[in-house]
């Protein structure tokens, strides 16, 4: 679908409140991510589990939103759908103005590569490459020269406070350092949206605090956008808005 066709789409009809700011309509071009009436259910034998029951969510560029809710509420499911790793049963995911509902698998893979970054609870860095190389590689796969990729990688690692660790392999980095490298890698190709599933869930409180602050700052500096699932209410409060999943729908806190 063309971007113009996306721009003509009707907007969700419910006004949305984020931190006291009520938004009625937004130019879709300003939105890094928009979920529109996303439904997802699972069947286990006779039982049917409605995990997402028509979720609407708008994430503007430059914003950080937290996704909270009890275990099993559907946070990871929502992030997988937003990240085009799973299909919703109905509804649409709009990434930087592009409607993804009608895309085939090849196009979804391309959009995922060009517009999305992911950070998980465990870093998944390549163990045989050092920190810098881990951030350089995805850029070279996207067609950037080694020199350009190295400069960008070094800038990101430095702004995340791990520039001096650039030549260390993951095994020689602390957990917090590993996560910062994973964040740099996820941002390397300038994604419109970063999706993070409990990115500090494996870190002690103080380290989690530092990594989360750097993550938020880097997202704002880069003009990207972040949707981050977390169980930590103190971290969630530092974001621009908290989306709480409850009974398959989002309540704004």
Ligand X SMILES: Nc1ncnc2c1ncn2[C@@H]1O[C@H](COP(=O)(O)OP(=O)(O)OP(=O)(O)O)[C@@H](O)[C@H]1O
Let me know how long the chain is.
253
Biggest alpha carbon distance in the chain? Answer: 56
CB of 186 to Mg ion, least distance (A): 17
Give the residue with the Cβ less far from ligand X, 75 or 165. 75
Q: Return all residues near 115 (Cβ < 8 A) that are at least 6 apart.
A: 95, 96, 98, 191, 192, 193
* CB closest to Mg ion, residue no: 76
Label residue 68 left, alpha or beta by phi (over 0 means left) and psi (-120 to 50 means alpha): beta
Q: Where are the beta strands (DSSP E) in 24-62?
A: 31-44, 47-60
Q: Which CB sits closer to Mg ion, 111 or 195?
A: 195
Write down the least CB distance from residue 146 to ligand X, Å.
Answer: 38
CB of 3 to Mg ion, least distance (A): 32
Q: Is residue 63 a contact point for Mg ion (CB under 5 A)? A: no
Q: Which of 36, 63, 65, 76 binds Mg ion (CB under 5 A)?
A: 76
Task: Return the number of the residue (120 or 212) whose C-beta is nearest Mg ion.
Answer: 120
- Which residue, 75 or 115, is less far from Mg ion as judged by CB? 75
Q: Within positions 64 to 83, which residues make up the interface with ligand X, using CB under 6 A?
A: 69, 71-77
The distance of closest approach from Cβ of residue 67 to ligand X in the complex, given in angstroms and rounded to an integer, is 8
Contacts of 53 (CB under 8 A, 6+ apart): 39, 247, 248, 249
Distances from the Cα of 190 to the Cα of 49, 152, 156, 162, 236, angstroms: 36, 10, 11, 19, 24
Query: Can you give the binding site for Mg ion, defined by CB under 5 A?
Result: 75-76
- Binding residues vs ligand X (CB under 6 A): 42, 44, 49, 51, 69, 71-77
């Amino acid at each position: 679908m063309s971007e113009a066709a996306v721009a003509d789409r009707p907007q969700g009809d419910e006004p949305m409140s984020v931190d006291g700011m009520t938004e009625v309509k937004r130019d879709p071009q300003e939105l890094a991510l928009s979920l529109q009436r996303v439904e997802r259910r699972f069947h286990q034998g006779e039982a049917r589990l409605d995990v997402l029951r028509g979720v609407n969510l708008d994430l503007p560029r430059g914003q950080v939103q937290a996704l909270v809710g009890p275990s099993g509420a559907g946070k990871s499911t929502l992030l997988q759908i937003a990240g085009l790793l799973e299909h919703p049963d109905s509804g649409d995911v709009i990434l930087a103005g592009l409607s993804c509902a009608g895309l085939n698998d090849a196009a979804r893979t391309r959009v995922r590569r060009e517009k999305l970054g992911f950070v998980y609870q465990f870093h998944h860095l390549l163990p045989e490459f050092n920190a810098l190389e881990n951030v350089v590689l995805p850029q070279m796969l996207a067609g950037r020269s080694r020199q350009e990729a190295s400069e960008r990688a070094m800038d990101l690692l430095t702004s995340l406070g791990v520039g001096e660790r650039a030549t260390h392999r993951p095994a020689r980095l602390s957990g917090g350092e590993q996560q910062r490298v994973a964040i740099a890698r996820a941002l390397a190709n300038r994604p419109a949206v970063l999706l993070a599933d409990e990115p500090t869930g494996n870190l002690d409180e103080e380290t989690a605090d530092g990594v989360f602050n750097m993550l938020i700052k880097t997202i704002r500096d880069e003009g990207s956008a972040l949707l981050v699932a977390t169980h930590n209410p103190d971290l969630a409060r530092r974001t621009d808005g908290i989306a709480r999943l409850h009974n398959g729908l989002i309540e704004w806190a």
